[in-house]
Structure 1
């Protein structure tokens, strides 16, 4: 059967190109060209909507392919150069990198708060086997305090107090705000001048984590990636204990 789609794409492209040219015509020129071309392009789109649908589908496929390629590259790096992937992110648990679990988390996410008890239990049960890495993934579009809390935690990390600060944020998740951030800093005896200065410098590191999460196609929090002797890749938290037990 004759495939009309390639020609339709050309017609639409030419129509849009002509429209762009006609828009540049001086106002005193005959504006009927604009209207005529616009009607022709709209008519083609109405009669052949599959052209638009196909273009959108191809774009989505292209984006999915990019995500898959980024994920594969990351997982390979995670396997072969784990320390580089960890970078300067906070870690806790085993010093030797036997089984490394990366958590992408948001301090205002209720599901992230729920996950903390399971993570603590795993770290207590496998103290010499499991290393937990924290990556910031504040969902600022839906959580107003996610980014400010991440900045405060990052600032605490600069004084070696990330994990107690992390625990305090999740414990007091319903009170997230400036008062809480300063109260926790005072209780942990942080240098407040440095703490406040570091909060203003946190954006670069946090954005780096966010960009990584987006490159991996992560859509929500908490999200987990594991690297062990037998498994490397995305994992559900409920499966981590089984992986550790087998190894």
Structure 2
């Protein structure tokens, strides 16, 4: 079983209490259909265990097979720079079938983000180092596909199928 090599830090995109005893890390790709299927499952579990789980999302765009994966990650990182990461994250997954420039413009409009600044950030590859750092951390942790989850630092090889059971077990032990 692989373990998380890069510890969760203030650099990460997190939701939930910083001092939670249960930490769920996802390495994901906004265009990956399996990540899209995992998205509502994770949302449901986080709602069920609200206040007990710290959730971390790290970029792992599979650009070789998903042409929009890196651009979608740029949109999320741009939104993060404006304090709206989770809103963009959710919109990207909720509209996964429409990934592309029109959706990115719509997201900027809905979140009141300056589209011209997003275009400039993309042109200058402002977030590429951040995205690559997430990828490198994933590779060091044994990630070779998406989504890959780590629960309290240990890789879950069951994907979303075993996520609910694993999360419930860890929460039960932490009580």
Q: So what's the TM-score if we normalise by structure 1?
A: 0.62
| 8 Å CA contact 2:22, 2:53 repeated in 1 | yes
Q: Does 1:183 align with 2:77?
A: no
Matches within 5 A, 1:80-91: 85-91=8-14
From 161, 169, 172, give the equivalent of 1:242.
169
From 206, 210, 230, give the equivalent of 2:135.
210
| 8 Å CA contact 1:105, 1:221 repeated in 2 | yes
- How far apart, CA to CA, are the structure 1 residues paired with 2:138 and 2:18? 24
1:218 alignment partner, SS class: coil
- Higher helix proportion, which one? 1
1:94 alignment partner, SS class: coil
1:117 alignment partner, SS class: helix
| 8 Å CA contact 1:95, 1:128 repeated in 2 | no
User: How far did residue 72 of structure 1 move?
Assistant: 5.8
- How far apart, CA to CA, are the structure 2 residues paired with 1:129 and 1:225? 16
The equivalent residue for 2:91 is: 168
Q: Structure 1 125/73 Cα, relative in aligned 2: closer, same or farther at 3 Å?
A: closer
| 8 Å CA contact 2:21, 2:53 repeated in 1 | yes
- How far apart, CA to CA, are the structure 1 residues paired with 2:28 and 2:118? 21
- How far apart, CA to CA, are the structure 1 residues paired with 2:144 and 2:35? 14
CA offsets 1:106-136 (integer angstroms, 9 cap, x no match) = 0001111111112111211212210100100
- Between structure 1 and structure 2, the one with the greater Rg is 1
Alignment coverage as a number of residue pairs: 166
Q: Structure 1 127/233 Cα, relative in aligned 2: closer, same or farther at 3 Å?
A: same
From 93, 106, 109, give the equivalent of 2:16.
93
The equivalent residue for 1:137 is: 60
- How far apart, CA to CA, are the structure 2 residues paired with 1:204 and 1:87? 17
User: How far did residue 191 of structure 1 move?
Assistant: 2.8
- How far apart, CA to CA, are the structure 1 residues paired with 2:3 and 2:67? 32
Aligned residues: CA RMSD: 2.0
- How far apart, CA to CA, are the structure 1 residues paired with 2:117 and 2:14? 22
User: How far did residue 156 of structure 1 move?
Assistant: 0.6
Q: So what's the TM-score if we normalise by structure 2?
A: 0.86
